[in-house]
Amino acid sequence: MPTLATADAWDIQMRMRDTSLYWAGMGFLALAKARHALQGYSTPKPFPLSDTYRCVAYDLRVVDEWLGYLAAYRGSEPKLSGKTVLELGPGSDLGIGVYLLARGAAAYCACDIHALALRAPASFYSALLDRINARIPATDARQLEAQVQGARTGTASRLRLVVREDFDLAAAFGADSIDLVLSQAAFEHFDDVERTVAGLSVICKSGAMIAAVIDLKTHSRWIRDKDPNNIYRYSDRLYGKFRYRGMPNRMRPYQYKEIFERHGWIDTAVTALEMIPDHLREGRSVNARFKDERSQLECLSVVLCATKA
């Protein structure tokens, strides 16, 4: 049975750890802001696009996972045939769009504030099409290559990236034009989630669905593993001092759910994908705003699925 002295020592150890992580996290916030000011947004994936085969595998896996989440949500995998799919924040390439077209989607659209996805080299798409053809032998690689080239020049009919600084979805795509929305670790970077969801409600057809994976963790690499909820330690005022466009917005699952439901989405389901390990749960202090149980700080990533009413 632990003695009082042992308990006191443990308490002191936890407080010292919390203090060191608090200050370390602030240092990482400062570094992230400085890096963004100097380099801008250049690495949407946790590995470079030059790691071709890893990037190809990532794109294929993400699509398969989205469809799996939607299958669990609605009881069967959604049919892509004849559907127009929108991806929010495609990142470094249009590989996801190419794979969705190969799987039968009528058209793929994407919206981003950066044009990174248009810079992927031909070698990436060559490797991607080889993998897709191995999975789907009937793939028309030439037709997909033509769509990639057309996307670069804005002439593609089925593969389209819209780059807008204002991220105005309604202006980009028009009303009732989208059947399915997909997103991978993008929502946590949106500065105005309410406006984004309002835009989705305009452009999505009745019955359209969304599957959005949301990464709720601290994003800086080292401290992400040591203290995944580090960004929740700080007051809004202090966190705001390190603000740059696209930094994690610190919204929690219940807030995303409420926003979607407020804008006409129904059957909203938020499912945890990653939970904080047991050994990281004890002794971690957070700002008072996040201490409420509904913040669900035990959830490190979730997938949100919903249907447009």
Closest to 193 (Cα-Cα) out of 244, 252, 238:
252
Q: How many residues does the chain have?
A: 309
**Which CATH number goes with the domain that contains 51?**
3.40.50.150
Please state, for a pLDDT cut of 90, what percent of the chain lies above it: 83
Please give the structure tokens belonging to residue 301: 């990533």
Per-residue model confidence (pLDDT) at position 282: 63
Do 19 and 84 lie in one domain? The reply is no
Q: Say which range, 3-7, 20-24, 49-53, 266-270, has the weakest mean pLDDT.
A: 3-7
Do 71 and 1 lie in one domain? The reply is no
Helical residues (DSSP H) of the chain, grouped into ranges: 4-39, 52-74, 95-102, 122-135, 141-153, 169-173, 193-203, 221-226, 236-240, 253-262
Per-residue model confidence (pLDDT) at position 300: 97
Do 211 and 229 lie in one domain? The reply is no
When pLDDT is averaged across residues 138-156 and rounded to a whole number, the result is 94
pLDDT in tens, 109-133: 999 999 989 989 999 999 999 999 9
Do 245 and 256 lie in one domain? The reply is no
Q: How far apart are CA 184 and CA 169, in angstroms?
A: 17
Do 234 and 275 lie in one domain? The reply is no
Please give the structure tokens belonging to residue 100: 């969705």
Do 16 and 117 lie in one domain? The reply is no
**Is residue 216 classed as helix, strand or coil in its secondary structure?**
coil
Looking at the predicted structure, is the pLDDT value of residue 2 above 60? no
**How confident is residue 17, by pLDDT bands cut at 50, 70 and 90?**
confident
Per-residue model confidence (pLDDT) at position 15: 81
Do 75 and 166 lie in one domain? The reply is yes
**How confident is residue 24, by pLDDT bands cut at 50, 70 and 90?**
very high
When pLDDT is averaged across residues 148-156 and rounded to a whole number, the result is 92
Do 125 and 232 lie in one domain? The reply is no
Do 51 and 137 lie in one domain? The reply is yes
Question: What residue numbers bound the domain in which 22 lies?
Answer: 1-40+219-249
Per-residue model confidence (pLDDT) at position 48: 85
Domain count of the chain? 2
When pLDDT is averaged across residues 43-54 and rounded to a whole number, the result is 85
Q: Is pTM, for the whole model, over 0.85?
A: yes
Do 123 and 175 lie in one domain? The reply is yes
Do 56 and 161 lie in one domain? The reply is yes
Per-residue model confidence (pLDDT) at position 102: 97
Residues 285, 286, 288, CA angle at the centre, nearest 5°? 120
Do 171 and 24 lie in one domain? The reply is no
The mean of the pLDDT values for the chain is 93
Looking at the predicted structure, is the pLDDT value of residue 237 above 70? yes
**How confident is residue 3, by pLDDT bands cut at 50, 70 and 90?**
low
Other C-beta atoms lying within 10 Å of the C-beta of residue 8: 10
Cα distances from 38 to residues 41, 42, 112, 241, in angstroms, run: 10, 11, 20, 17
Per-residue model confidence (pLDDT) at position 296: 96
Q: Which residue has the higher pLDDT, 40 or 85?
A: 85
* Contact of 229 with 284, CB cutoff 8 Å: yes
Looking at the predicted structure, is the pLDDT value of residue 96 above 80? yes
